[in-house]
Structure 1
Amino acid sequence: MKIVDLSRDLYLRTPSYPGHPPTFQAIWKTHEESFTESGNVHGLASMFVSMSDHAGTHIDAPRHFGRSGIPIDQYPLEKCIVPGICLDLRHIAPRAEITSSDLAAAVKKAGVAVPKGGTVLLCTGHHERTFPRKEYSTDNSGVNVEATEWLAKQGVVHFGIDSMRPGPDGKVNSLVHKACLDLDITHIESLCNLEALLGKGQFTFIGLPMKFRDGTASPIRAVAVFDM
């Protein structure tokens, strides 16, 4: 078995979606403090973390798209361990729309079918090109509504992308979010290291969310697992 980590690091002020709260991470108690204050012979350390439920690599809950959608604590875990493929879309220009024709051509080039009940990860090269510069939050390519509908018709439960939003920045991205609610699928944002999956065929994708009550999303440890 080989595991490929597809998750961004979480650290103090890691790039966050514009308008979302920043990620804070700090020492709550050092080993020395724990030993001095409590006399604990092991001097146990701990940290304090504050962040958005959309921090880092995360999955959007349907509740994020509309009030009728389920929150993340009700999202079926069966949809978090699924077969997946990765498509090479690095030739798409920054800020451009990825169309259904682009996806179909990428599937043909990959030589592997879209797994029903699975996921499709879109390697645009955006993270590799821009992270953690300011362009990371603005210059991504992304799917349009027609491409989102195409993915849903292939039977996926979600799709993922190596940027902070599924669509290009602006109105198209908002419409893609709404389309996901209407189509009963969701998406995963801020993936990384997707280049390592290209040309490797089908894998098992694992991305389990935290159980935030009524949450609109959750950070996940996203990985691709290959049988060796």
Structure 2
Amino acid sequence: MKIVDLSRELYHRTPSYPGHPPIIHGVWKTHEESFADSGNVYGLSSMFISMADHGGTHIDAPRHFGKTGQPINEYPLENCIVPGICLDLRHIAPRAEIAPDDLKAAVNKAGVPVPKGGTVLLCTGHHDRTFPRKEYATDNSGVNVAATEWLARQGVVHFGIDSMRPGPDGKVNLLVHKACLDLGITHIESLCNLEALLGQGRFTFIGLPLKWRDGTASPIRAVAVFDL
């Protein structure tokens, strides 16, 4: 098999969503400190991480969209290993809305149908163009409500995008989140390396969340798997 990593690297002060707490990653105990604590037997280093559940590449739980939604620890794992396709939307301007006709044209260009019970990954080129500059947090294109509804009608369980939000910054993004709750789907944010999937056809998408009690999201190690 061939595995393509679609996950952002996590490191100290990784760019995080505006208004969310920063990602803090540091040394808890060095090898030397642990060696001394063990009575000079052996030293085992360890680190710690503090972050929002929406940090890095992550999947939003329905609980994020509304109080009636499932928390991440109850999200079906069957939805986390699914068939997927990737659409080329790099021609969409920064901050612009991706409409249903844009998705339909991209599906035709890809030459593979949207997999029912699967996912659609939207390659806007935003991560490649802007990360880790400040524009990464503001200038993304994204789907509008009509495009979100179109994806849901195709039978997807979620969709993913290479930016920090599914819709353009502002009211549209909030309404896309609400639409996901109403439609019974969710989305994955802050993917990267989607360019490597373009023109490659169908793959298996894997993105397993942490089992955080009552979590509104979870970081995932997102990958695309191709059978050779």
TM bucket, shorter chain: over 0.9
Other-structure match for 2:138: 138
Deviation at 1:8, TM superposition (A): 0.2
Which string of whole-angstrom CA distances, capped at 9 and with x for unpartnered residues, describes residues 103-131 of structure 1?
A: 00000000000000000000000000000
Name the residue aligned to 1:160: 160
CA distance in 2, matches of 1:8, 1:40: 38
Matches within 5 A, 1:32-181: 32-39=32-39, 41-181=41-181
| CA deviation vs aligned residue, 1:172-210 (integer Å, no higher than 9, x gap) | 000000000000000000000000000000000000000
TM-score normalised per structure 1: 0.99
- Aligned AA (2:165): R
Q: Alpha-carbon deviations, 1:60-107, whole Å to 9, x = none?
A: 000000000010000000000000000000000000000000000000
Q: Distance in 1 between matches of 2:10 and 2:38?
A: 30
Q: CA deviation at 1:42?
A: 3.3
* CA distance in 1: counterparts of 2:41 and 2:138, whole angstroms: 49
Q: Which runs of 4+ in 1 moved over 6 A?
A: none
Q: What is the distance in 2 between the residues matched to 1:184 and 1:39? A: 56
Helix, strand or coil at the partner of 2:26: strand
Q: Specify every segment of 5 or more residues in structure 2 that has no aligned partner in the other structure, as ranges.
A: none
What's 1:7 paired with?
A: 7
Structure 2 letter corresponding to 1:216: T
Identity %: 84
Find the aligned partners of 2:77 and 2:39 in 1 and give their Cα distance: 42
What CA distance in whole angstroms lies between the structure 2 residues aligned with 1:149 and 1:42? 57
Aligned to 1:186: 186
Tell me how far 1:40 sits from its aligned partner. 5.9
Distance of 1:198 and 1:44 partners within structure 2: 43
What is aligned with 1:219?
219
Q: CA deviation at 1:38?
A: 1.5
Instruction: State the SS of the aligned residue for 2:48.
Output: strand
Q: Tell me the secondary structure at the aligned position of residue 21 of structure 1.
A: coil
TM-score by length of 2: 0.99
Aligned residues: 228
CA distance in 1, matches of 2:31, 2:43: 4
The answer to which of 184-193 and 36-45 deviates more is 36-45
